[in-house]
Amino acid sequence: MSKRDVYVLNGPNLGRLGRRQPEIYGSTTHVDLQDRLMPAWGKELGLRIHFSQTNHEGQLLDWLNDAADRGWPVVLNAGAWTHYSYALYDACAQLTAPLVEVHISAPSKRPEEFRHHSVVTPHAAKVIEGQGIDGYRQALEFIARS
């Protein structure tokens, strides 16, 4: 069985999972997510996962451009850029394969008003929020069915 390539991309501060506000984002570290959870989920779903995190917006845009060029689906947790980056909006607009927007917390229910708007959502085939780390698995399952 051939595997379908998928980008799982994480934006700013997500490399600090497990240390950054665990009461909001949980205790699973970014390394745990990458090394323990993603390979098992990918194998189970027939997906080859390309997992990356950056604190540099241009790097995230380069990965999204690559996904557009390759026709790869994307699971994207763009962190704070979700709420204001029009460069991110434009990069997501060019994707032709499914884009799933993931948020560990539920930004729409957080007290900060700025978190209630997403520039990614208009381009997303699905939005998953407030499911913790399991949201990534749900996103991969959606892509595997697409």
Per DSSP, 131 falls in state S
7, 25, 50, 123: the active-site residue: 25
Tell me whether residue 104 is annotated as binding: yes
Burial 83-104 (b: 16+ CB within 10 A, else e): bebeebbebbeebebbbbbbbb
Q: Is 103 among the residues known to form the active site? A: yes
- Say whether 83 counts as a known binding-site residue: yes
What is the rounded distance in angstroms from the CA atom of residue 86 to the CA atom of residue 120?
A: 9
Q: Sort 6 into a burial class: Cβ within 10 Å, 0-12 / 13-18 / 19+.
A: buried
30 is annotated as an active-site residue: no
Q: Which of 7, 30, 50, 103 is catalytic?
A: 103
Residues tagged in the binding site annotation = 77, 83, 90, 104-105, 115
Residues recognised as catalytic:
25, 103
Binding-site residues for substrate sit at 77, 83, 90, 104-105, 115
